Amino acid sequence: MDTPKKVGLARGLTNYGDADFSLYLRRTFAKAAGYSNEMASRPVVGIAQSASGFNPCHRNFPELVDAIKRGVLAAGGLPLDFPTISLGETFLNPTSMKFRNLMSMDIEEMIRAQPMDSVVLLGGCDKSVPAQLMGAASADIPAIQLVCGPMLPMPYQGERLGACTDCRRFWGKFRAGEISNEAINEVEGKLAATAGTCGVMGTASTMASIAEAIGMSLPGTAAIPAVHSDRLRAAEASGRRAVELALNPILPSQIITEKSVENALRILLAIGGSTNALIHLTAIAGRLGIKVSLKRLNELSDTTPVLVDLKPTGQHYMSDLHAAGGLGAVLRELAPLLHLDCITVSGETLGERLTGEATWVDRAVVRSFDDPINAQGGLASLFGSLAPNGAIIKRSAADPKLFERTGRAVVFSSLADLAERIDSPDLDVTADDFMVLQNAGPRSASGMPEAGYLPIPLKLAKAGVKDMVRISDARMSGTAYGTIVLHVSPEAAIGGPLSLVRNGDMIRISVSERRLDLLVDESDLAQRRLVTPPSAVVPKRGYGRLYAQSTLQAEDGCDFDFLRE
């Protein structure tokens, strides 16, 4: 006879050699928490929450946790929230990216170690959603993603401001001497004025959209503003649905499949999403043995139109997308290109979900398939002698006039070198040069920061230069824009060709041919290789050591080698 499956607090008992004693002990401590026998016998819904004083984006979590709990209790479950690592994007040094995998391990292990039948993943700020999805994919119990929602933009002198595309725009004006100290101080108070994640199509908004498109969030929840009461109703609904999932499981491994990952890639392209999201989606998929190929990305990009007019590539904010019809409006336009048979966390297939939805769309924000903003997707991967394993350009945020060029390299060997020399009046640089940043990749000491948006040198900025070709192994904030080539792989710190570039070398970029080439003879490169040892160092102890020994390159999602399937 099969042993009955243990549910709720009877799951995963500590083994003292006497199972009845273990259960008795757990009931005793459930009593310590004040739960009645009836409550303690319910299916348990864990709520993985990442509130933190160091994460202002998550400051609406207390009311969201309350609403999730309300939904769980109403559906007959027992909600138990638990804290996890929180990754506040602007509060982490050297970069939040260094800790995404650590958070994913926290999520995976706490889901496994604690007795829960399903889990609501409550996240939002950039790296938290991928970390939660990576951990949940590995733990593979029923899981539902809820994001905290985007901030609202704020009025300022006849326009609206939102983090952080406008942060960069105004800082650029300030650097160029176009606005005063007083003005930049006033702007600073209006860029991030509510709870929630950055209000443009940055990494957080892109990951929220991907979570919904891949089927891990409830329909219509990605774009609801953090402060809107719809967000609380979404939380309550997520709690209810988590109880249903506890009773009739649909596992992350059933939802995150090759087909749904491809759907998510299409959405990433159609929304003009963040380059970071490509790394994160690759890492999430990799947890289930699914490979995201940069060559396939190019095929998808060539056949996926950009439909959403949001900053940093367009004009609007996430709250406008919610009002315009939400992500469902984008999914419906893309439906002919999507795998509609993918199951979602709601229990419906993607196709069933889209058939049942309202059809009003604000075409100023979400364009129709036949009238796209761009006929091709926002991202392209480049290959060549400078990036044998690939590099990424967000062409929707770049200046097409710079797409087919050969330029002289102006090289910065590290972030410290960049900071020291970029604004020097003596810097030998013109607007036609290509700025190259080395040693800012995943295995570098800086841990792949969002430093790929190299500032325009002060003397050029003051002369009115707004964009230049910039090349690095770093990442770029999803809220940034410019002709910026990122994620060059292999990275400089492990001896990739990027480490061999010298001032004055010629580099050729061709977005149409998907090429990035260093125009230097192989014999010269071989000489340089002899005198350019890899700069990556392995710290003696701690998480830094684990990170340095195990982090993969961008094309493998920068996950740890031992966490992938």
The nearest distance, CB 126 to ligand FES, in angstroms, is: 5
Report how far apart, in Å, the C-alpha atoms of 310 and of each of 124, 134, 410, 562 are: 18, 27, 32, 37
Our CB check for ligand FES shows the closer of 361 and 480 to be 480
End-to-end CA, the chain: 33
Residue 47 β-bridge partners:
81, 120
Our CB check for ligand FES shows the closer of 163 and 265 to be 163
Range list of β-strands (E), 366-501: 379-384, 387-394, 404-412, 434-437, 469-472, 484-489
Among 89, 108, 117, 262, binds ligand FES (CB under 6 A): 89
The nearest distance, CB 271 to ligand FES, in angstroms, is: 16
**Which of 459, 468, 451 has the alpha carbon at shortest distance from 398?**
468
In this structure, are residues 369 and 296 in contact, taking their beta carbons and an 8 Å threshold?
A: no
Range list of β-strands (E), 502-557: 506-510, 515-518
In this structure, are residues 310 and 375 in contact, taking their beta carbons and an 8 Å threshold?
A: no
Task: Give the x-and-dash track for 511-540 against ligand FES (CB under 6 A).
Answer: ------------------------------
The nearest distance, CB 311 to ligand FES, in angstroms, is: 13
Task: Give the x-and-dash track for 13-52 against ligand FES (CB under 6 A).
Answer: ----------------------------------------
The nearest distance, CB 81 to ligand FES, in angstroms, is: 21
Q: Report 147-206 residues binding ligand FES (CB under 6 A).
A: 163, 197-198, 202, 204
**Residue 185 burial class via C-beta count within 10 angstroms: exposed 0-12, middle 13-18, buried 19 and up:** exposed
Q: Report 398-417 residues binding ligand FES (CB under 6 A).
A: none
The nearest distance, CB 57 to ligand FES, in angstroms, is: 4
**Residue 183 burial class via C-beta count within 10 angstroms: exposed 0-12, middle 13-18, buried 19 and up:** middle
Six token digits for residue 132: 């939660």
Among 13, 23, 66, 90, binds ligand FES (CB under 6 A): 90
The nearest distance, CB 209 to ligand FES, in angstroms, is: 13
Our CB check for ligand FES shows the closer of 126 and 555 to be 126
Our CB check for ligand FES shows the closer of 92 and 111 to be 92
Question: Binding of ligand FES at residue 309 (CB under 6 A)?
Answer: no
Question: Binding of ligand FES at residue 57 (CB under 6 A)?
Answer: yes
The nearest distance, CB 349 to ligand FES, in angstroms, is: 31
Task: Give the x-and-dash track for 442-461 against ligand FES (CB under 6 A).
Answer: --------------------
The nearest distance, CB 167 to ligand FES, in angstroms, is: 10
User: Could you give the CA distance from residue 102 to residue 85 in angstroms, rounded to a whole number?
Assistant: 8
Six token digits for residue 148: 């905290």
Our CB check for ligand FES shows the closer of 86 and 414 to be 86
The nearest distance, CB 166 to ligand FES, in angstroms, is: 12
In this structure, are residues 179 and 173 in contact, taking their beta carbons and an 8 Å threshold?
A: yes
Our CB check for ligand FES shows the closer of 57 and 232 to be 57
Residue 169's CB is within 10 A of a number of other CB atoms, namely 16
The nearest distance, CB 186 to ligand FES, in angstroms, is: 20
The nearest distance, CB 78 to ligand FES, in angstroms, is: 31
Our CB check for ligand FES shows the closer of 71 and 478 to be 478
Our CB check for ligand FES shows the closer of 125 and 285 to be 125
Work out whether the CA dihedral 259, 261, 266, 270 comes out positive or negative: positive
The nearest distance, CB 254 to ligand FES, in angstroms, is: 29
**Which of 315, 471, 475, 325 has the alpha carbon at shortest distance from 406?**
471
Our CB check for ligand FES shows the closer of 447 and 496 to be 447
Our CB check for ligand FES shows the closer of 57 and 468 to be 57
User: Could you give the CA distance from residue 332 to residue 343 in angstroms, rounded to a whole number?
Assistant: 16
Our CB check for ligand FES shows the closer of 450 and 517 to be 450
Q: Report 108-147 residues binding ligand FES (CB under 6 A).
A: 125-126
The nearest distance, CB 478 to ligand FES, in angstroms, is: 8
Q: Is 143 helix (H, G, I), strand (E, B) or coil?
A: strand
Question: Binding of ligand FES at residue 253 (CB under 6 A)?
Answer: no
Give yes or no for a cis peptide into 312 (omega within 30° of 0). yes
User: Could you give the CA distance from residue 516 to residue 500 in angstroms, rounded to a whole number?
Assistant: 14
Alpha helices in 81-225 (DSSP H): 97-113, 128-139, 165-175, 181-188, 203-214
User: Could you give the CA distance from residue 53 to residue 86 in angstroms, rounded to a whole number?
Assistant: 9
Work out whether the CA dihedral 211, 213, 216, 221 comes out positive or negative: positive
Q: Is 521 helix (H, G, I), strand (E, B) or coil?
A: coil
Binding site for ligand FES (CB under 6 A): 57, 89-90, 125-126, 163, 197-198, 202, 204
